[in-house]
Structure 1
Amino acid sequence: MTAPGTPPGAPRPPVVRVQGGTLQGQWGSEVAVFRGIPYARPPVGALRLAPPEPAPPWEGTRRADTFGESPPQSLALGMVAEPDGLAEGTGDWLTVNVWTPDPAAGAGLPVLVWIHGGVYMIGTSDGPAYDGTELARRGTVVVTFNHRVGAEGYGQFEGAVPNRALLDQVAALRWVGENIAAFGGEPGRVTVFGESAGAGAIAALLAMPRAAGLFRRAVTQSVPGPFYGTDLAADIGSAVAAELAVAPTLAEVAAATPAALRDAADTVLGGMARHEPRWGRAARARMPFAPVVDGDVLPCVPWEALRAGRSAGVELLCGHTRDETRLFTVLAGRLGRVTEEEAAATLAWFAPDDAGRAAYRAGPAAADPTALADLVLSDWLFRMPSLHLAEAHAEGGGTTYLYELTYGAPGLGGAPGACHGLDVPLVFGTLRSDIGTLLLGAEPPPAAAALSARMAGAWTAFAATGDPGWPPYGARDRLTHVFDAGSRTAPYPEEASRLIWSRHEFTAMEPVPGAETGRAARRP
């Protein structure tokens, strides 16, 4: 007898038993899909701004055919078109989704766990670009999940545990370790992979004692450099609380609705320019949230931890795109319109030192203000943090593989180049997703499909064996795999930038010494 609601002649829906109870999923294209599985209790009510707690078990068979609710999403970034239904939701944000080609215990397949990006302020696991079907068809079990973002996940408030987003991720990984065998995955072969803020979160997990042993391998795609110290994070948290007209404490902030807290954080984001004297590069980059080096959940910045050999037993695949921030320039309508004065300001804010500024001025990008601004910001925000993470891991005794994506996106008239986010649809094989269509066009060219197959093949091979198909990175030869229409392995291509940043240390960012406090007083 088939399950209720199953058309005659259709295969039985896939059913698995996990620690919480029985789950019924759906069949996709050659893979079984399970959506919206709770890995923690809803972090609302008494659990607001608290560490995640394990999800309770359920009776009977739970339908796992719908993605879970999205956590509060920033509306100020212009990437969430409509209100997110927070008023009608239950707060059941902490859920996982699983794609598997073999939903049978004991299959022993490698596991890929995705951590999404989104400036630490947006992102959910139901994005069409994150569909795990194609990667699962390559013989892996793919997991995606939601975690708290923005002020819910990263806001620093007195009495609240810091880095709740990272603790959500630890809880999700624990769920994977305890349950993934039921889906045919091998708990001892878990690889975390993520892009942008997701890569920054993975870098943090590599430095966190609480995450030790939860994954065997890691892939970081475009690691962002900003990590915040406690004083800076508290400054920003106080500004958010001031918008709510409350004190920056757990009790008072948690009394606000999730929508109100989200809106308060969006207001702070919109007014960050006035905080530049105090918050420095964090305000200039318009980034109100980042992982916080609090000394407990996150003891130190990832580069320091990896250099000291922490997580040396975790194999690391790390890389970035060539033209990271070009997409932001294009979408803002600024391509070819950046003035010399604006480029000079970007150079003054984000170059590592005077010698670095002079080197940028002597380079080929100096003739074009847009190119110069994009290069400097790309290096500061993504390219050099990624390179330094690979170098730190290798220096600490870890096996490290480095890559760069140089394939130019044909969408938007080819203007974005090898931009930030292009690797996501290429790795997932979701070329016709929203971002895939934006960057690759409505009909992706054969070269993009071939490149996608190579990148997906490298990621799944790394998850299975620890070897993506090229030699490890070392300080002597700096071998890097370059993904393009014709891929190759060569010494790190961005040598000029590497030299400019070779003496720079990515440390926890704090308020500018001597600047007036950016903390806003409680409103009457």
Structure 2
Amino acid sequence: MTDTSTSTRYAVADTGAGQVRGLWRGDPGAGGSAAFLGIPFAKPPIGPLRFAAPVPVDPWDGVRDALEFAPTAQRGDPGITLIPEPSVPGDATLNVNVFTPSPGRTASLPVLVWIHGGGYVAGSPASPWYDGRAFNRDGVVTVTISYRLGFDGFGHIEGAPANRGVRDWLAALEWVQANIAHFGGDRARVTIAGQSAGGGAVLRLLALPAAQHLFRAVWALSAALADVSPERARAASARLAHLAAVEPTRDGFASVPEETLQSLQETASRPESDDRLAGARAMLTDGLSWGPMVDGDLVREPTLAALRAGVGADKPLVLGTTDDEFTMVLDSAARRLRVVPASLALAKLGVGRERRRAYLSDNGAQRRKGTAAVLGRYVTDAVFRATVVKVAEARAAAPTWVYRFSWPSPTRRWALHCLDVPFWFDCLDDPHVAVIAGDAPPRRLAAALHGAAVAFTRGDDPGWPAWSGAPGATRVFGGEASVPDVIADGYRSVRALV
């Protein structure tokens, strides 16, 4: 329903809890879309609900304004980040934002649900890059969701349900199933997508038996898996309790202000050794400290094990990475490292001799760029790119497509982490994009990547041969002119790490 009684155009939609009023951007029916912001899918996780599973929101009377982004689980100023992700203060942090070209019950459009990244400790669904405007233009309803972060979302707490952040994802997706028809979407045509920790989130959901009824397909950008072991989760929580001077119980943690736990959680997750190299080795070996935990209940086994067992095998998957996700972090050390042999540097990171030899042999072009470039690529491969091959191989014959984003940033040198996101969302006109992609990012590249995402969300294949049919087949977005768009073994350079 559209309200045009004033110069500002509003759209009103039903939800199971009551009606909401969104704002039209552009003209209805002429390429415009309506934004419904900050719709709660659960009660604020405060007081007795702070460490509880999400609880459905109470119904409201009348029409509730959904005109501004609701509070975010990310608190305070996140500082300079590659993706603009603002924090919004407040308690009601469990909410969804819906962008639709056709609010109403009759459209039955495909639906994209986006889960933001941020290492499971940061990030915001309120980023201007996540606005669904371009997907709406192409006939796709878009939803962004929030979830509890860090210790509040994923820490082990005696007496509290585990994986509260995962439960938030499930509750938000249940909200989509129950309500998206009122916004013009088809509940049977839901694709979930995310980047970085959000990419890890959608792979975790793909491999989660309890989530299988909630979506049809998955697109994972630069997925960072967590699969935190119970032992590691308990150790990090015990250290956090020690730092906060409380018992590691629900009552103990509840006695500590949220902002205090958030300020201490980074310290609690770091290795106790002051050796920075030891810390780097631990991160590469053990992964993230806060994130989905293998709890034996909701999350019964690691993501790859569940995929190998066939969970989610009926659902199409697209996944890929940028070529140099984190290589830029070592740019400042390039001069110091140029006298250090690459093999020795990898040995310091704990890479065994045979693996070092094989890895360096497969990465000759990167090796010619210097030791810093090799180490940066190794971190990229160990955390992100090897995951692509492991997931594709774990799914065997299940429909899986693989890609690489290879266009190097003119401002940051590399095809770095997050660079693909504004191309995927086709939001190159956003002023924040120039910082990471320069003043003239190639629109043809956005059309290709975004177009593949739209086709896949509609139910088609993304436009290149599936890995499941031709193992190794990889679509290269933004590569050199001499490189074909599709290559036979696009992730060969990570084979030594798989």
Shared fold per TM-score greater than 0.5: yes
Identify the match of residue 389 of structure 1 among 383, 388, 391.
391
Contact (CA 8 Å) 2:409, 2:415: kept in 1 or not? Answer: yes
Equivalenced residue count is 485
Contact (CA 8 Å) 1:104, 1:184: kept in 2 or not? Answer: yes
Q: 1:85 to 1:215 in 2, by over 3 A?
A: closer
Unaligned runs of 5+ in 2: 27-31
Contact (CA 8 Å) 2:74, 2:124: kept in 1 or not? Answer: no
- How much has 1:454 moved relative to structure 2? 1.1
Name the residue aligned to 1:520. none
Residue type of the partner of 2:486? T
- How much has 1:321 moved relative to structure 2? 1.1
Contact (CA 8 Å) 2:240, 2:264: kept in 1 or not? Answer: yes
Name the residue aligned to 1:64. 66
Name the residue aligned to 1:378. 380
Name the residue aligned to 1:511. none
The residue correspondences of 1:207-218 to structure 2 (distance < 5 A) are 207-218=207-218
**Quick one: distance in 2 between partners of 1:434 and 1:353?**
45
Contact (CA 8 Å) 1:225, 1:380: kept in 2 or not? Answer: no
**Quick one: distance in 1 between partners of 2:191 and 2:471?**
26
Q: 1:81 to 1:492 in 2, by over 3 A?
A: closer
Residue type of the partner of 2:313? A
Name the residue aligned to 1:521. none
**Aligned-pair identity (%):** 34
Q: 1:336 to 1:299 in 2, by over 3 A?
A: farther
Is 1:115 the counterpart of 2:109? The answer is no
Name the residue aligned to 2:444. 450
Residue type of the partner of 1:482? V
The residue correspondences of 1:47-446 to structure 2 (distance < 5 A) are 47-73=49-75, 79=81, 89=90, 91-268=91-268, 273-274=273-274, 281-282=282-283, 287-330=288-331, 333-338=332-337, 347-348=346-347, 353-362=352-361, 363-364=363-364, 365-367=366-368, 368-393=370-395, 395=396, 397-412=397-412, 415=413, 417-433=414-430, 436-441=433-438, 443-445=439-441
**Quick one: distance in 2 between partners of 1:495 and 1:82?**
34
- How much has 1:348 moved relative to structure 2? 3.5
Coordinate RMSD, CA, aligned:
2.9
**Quick one: distance in 2 between partners of 1:141 and 1:297?**
29
Name the residue aligned to 2:39. 37
- How much has 1:328 moved relative to structure 2? 3.2
Compare 274-283 and 288-297 and name the one that shifted more: 274-283
Contact (CA 8 Å) 1:351, 1:376: kept in 2 or not? Answer: no
Contact (CA 8 Å) 1:72, 1:262: kept in 2 or not? Answer: no
What is the CA deviation profile of residues 87-120 of structure 1, one whole-angstrom value per residue up to 9, with x for unaligned ones? Answer: xx2x100010011111121211000000011011
**Quick one: distance in 1 between partners of 2:448 and 2:86?**
38
Contact (CA 8 Å) 1:228, 1:292: kept in 2 or not? Answer: yes
* TM-score of the aligned structures, taking structure 2 as reference length: 0.90
User: For 1:25, what is the secondary structure of its paired residue?
Assistant: strand
User: For 1:184, what is the secondary structure of its paired residue?
Assistant: strand
What is the CA deviation profile of residues 334-386 of structure 1, one whole-angstrom value per residue up to 9, with x for unaligned ones? Answer: 45544665966762366664321122344424451111101211110000012
Residue type of the partner of 1:444? A
Contact (CA 8 Å) 1:52, 1:171: kept in 2 or not? Answer: yes
- How much has 1:439 moved relative to structure 2? 1.4
- How much has 1:422 moved relative to structure 2? 1.0
Unaligned runs of 5+ in 1: 503-524
Contact (CA 8 Å) 1:69, 1:93: kept in 2 or not? Answer: yes
Q: 1:65 to 1:288 in 2, by over 3 A?
A: same
Q: 1:280 to 1:81 in 2, by over 3 A?
A: same
Q: 1:78 to 1:203 in 2, by over 3 A?
A: same
- How much has 1:226 moved relative to structure 2? 3.9
**Quick one: distance in 1 between partners of 2:350 and 2:459?**
38
Contact (CA 8 Å) 1:154, 1:162: kept in 2 or not? Answer: yes
Name the residue aligned to 1:510. none
Name the residue aligned to 2:29. none
Identify the match of residue 497 of structure 2 among 497, 501, 505.
501
- How much has 1:275 moved relative to structure 2? 8.6
